[in-house]
C-alpha cells in the first residue's frame, strides 16, 4: 500500500482560518504526507455561491501556499453539473488504487450525511474523519448516522486508519465560519483575523453585498 491520501472538500466560500487550521491538524494527527483541498464546483446541497468555483479555488491556493503538505485539487472546479463526493472519491480511487483515502468533514456535515448521494457506499470507500466543530453536539446526530458512527468508530491515529472506519478529531478548532466572514465583508469590516487572504478578497470587491438570508 502507498501512504494514505487526505481529502478535504468544501465550498470554501470563502476560505478561512478554520479550514486551514483544521487541514493542518488533520495532516498532523494522521501523519498524512498530502492533504488535497477540493473546492466544490456546483454544490448539490446548497444554492450555488455567487462567487465562481475558480475564484474560490484561487483563494484556497493562496491560503495554503506556505502550508507544507496541503495541496489544491481543482477536479470539482472543472466538473460540469453537480459535484458529488462519491464521484470524487471513486475517481481518486481509480487514480490511486493502492492508496487509502482518508476524507475529512465537519460535524455539521456529518449530521447531513443521509442527504448525500449514496452515503452508505461512501462510508466504505475510505476512512472518514470528522471534525468536532465548535458548537456542534454529537448527541444531536440523526439515528442512522449515530448508528454508523458507533459501528465504525476508530481512534484518531495513523495506526487505526482503515477502510470503512470513522474517527473523530479531538483537537480544539476555531469557531469561524464562511457565513460570519461573508457577513463581516458585507458590512465593510476588517476580516484579516478570519482569513489569510483578506486583502485579495477585499480587493476583488466580491461579497460587498450580502447574499445570505437575514
Ligand atoms: N471552523 C471549523 N471547524 C471545523 N470544521 C469546519 C470549520 N469550518 C468549516 N468546517 C468544515 O469544513 C467543511 C467545508 O466547510 P465550508 O466550506 O462549507 O465552510 P463553512 O464555514 O461551513 O461555510 P458556511 O458558513 O458558508 O456554511 C465542512 O465539512 C465544514 O463542516
Ligand atoms: O455528495 C453529496 O451528495 C454531498 C452533499 C453535501 C455536501 N457534499 C460535500 O461536502 C463537502 C462540505 O460541504 P459544505 O457545504 O459544508 O462546504 C463539500 O466537498 C461538498 O461537495 C457532498
CATH number, domain 2-204? 3.40.50.620
Dist. CA 196–CA 180, nearest whole Å: 15
State the pLDDT at residue 166.
98
Report the nearest atom of ligand 2 relative to the CA of 11: 17
State the pLDDT at residue 214.
53
Task: Compute CA distances 107 → 104, 113, 140, 149, 150, whole Å.
Answer: 10, 10, 10, 12, 15
Per-residue pLDDT tens digits of the chain, which is 214 residues long: 899 999 999 999 999 999 999 999 999 999 999 999 999 999 999 999 999 999 999 999 999 999 999 999 999 999 999 999 999 999 999 999 999 999 999 999 999 999 999 999 999 999 999 998 888 889 999 999 999 999 999 999 999 999 999 999 987 788 999 999 999 999 999 999 999 999 999 999 999 987 776 5
Going from N- to C-terminal start, the domains of the chain cover 2-204
Q: How many CB atoms lie within 10 A of CB 178?
A: 22
**Candidate from 6, 7, 10 with most ligand 1 atoms within 8 A of CB, to mutate:** 10
Nearest to 184 by CA among 174, 175, 195: 195
State the pLDDT at residue 136.
86
What residue owns the CA closest to ligand 2's atom 4?
A: 116
What residue owns the CA closest to ligand 1's atom 9?
A: 19
State the pLDDT at residue 209.
83
Dist. CA 119–CA 91, nearest whole Å: 16
Report the nearest atom of ligand 2 relative to the CA of 39: 19
Dist. CA 167–CA 145, nearest whole Å: 13
State the pLDDT at residue 213.
63
Report the nearest atom of ligand 1 relative to the CA of 106: 31
Dist. CA 179–CA 11, nearest whole Å: 11
State the pLDDT at residue 41.
95
State the pLDDT at residue 172.
76
Q: What is the pTM of this model?
A: 0.97
Dist. CA 102–CA 146, nearest whole Å: 20
ipTM of predicted complex: 0.98
User: Separation of 159 CA from ligand 1 center, angstroms?
Assistant: 27
What residue owns the CA closest to ligand 1's atom 15?
A: 10
Amino acid at each position: 500500500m502507498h501512504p494514505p491520501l487526505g481529502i478535504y472538500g468544501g465550498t470554501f466560500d470563502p476560505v478561512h482560518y478554520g479550514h486551514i487550521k483544521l487541514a493542518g491538524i488533520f495532516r498532523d494527527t494522521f501523519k498524512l504526507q498530502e492533504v488535497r483541498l477540493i473546492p466544490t464546483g456546483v454544490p448539490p446541497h446548497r444554492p450555488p455561491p455567487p462567487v465562481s468555483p475558480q475564484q474560490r479555488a484561487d483563494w484556497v491556493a493562496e491560503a495554503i501556499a506556505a502550508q507544507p503538505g496541503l495541496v489544491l485539487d481543482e477536479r470539482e472546479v472543472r466538473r460540469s453539473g453537480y459535484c458529488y463526493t462519491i464521484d470524487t472519491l471513486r475517481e481518486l480511487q481509480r487514480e490511486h488504487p493502492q492508496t487509502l483515502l482518508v476524507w475529512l468533514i465537519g460535524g455539521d456535515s456529518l449530521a447531513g450525511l443521509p442527504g448525500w448521494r449514496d452515503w452508505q457506499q461512501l462510508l466504505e470507500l475510505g476512512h472518514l474523519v470528522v471534525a468536532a466543530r465548535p458548537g456542534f453536539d454529537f448527541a444531536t446526530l440523526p439515528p442512522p448516522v449515530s448508528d454508523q458512527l458507533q459501528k465504525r468508530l476508530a481512534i484518531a491515529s495513523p495506526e487505526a486508519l482503515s477502510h470503512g472506519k470513522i474517527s473523530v478529531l479531538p483537537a480544539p478548532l476555531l469557531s469561524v465560519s464562511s457565513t460570519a466572514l461573508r457577513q463581516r465583508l458585507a458590512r465593510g469590516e476588517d476580516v484579516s483575523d478570519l482569513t489569510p487572504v483578506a486583502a485579495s478578497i477585499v480587493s476583488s470587491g466580491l461579497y460587498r453585498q450580502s447574499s445570505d438570508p437575514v
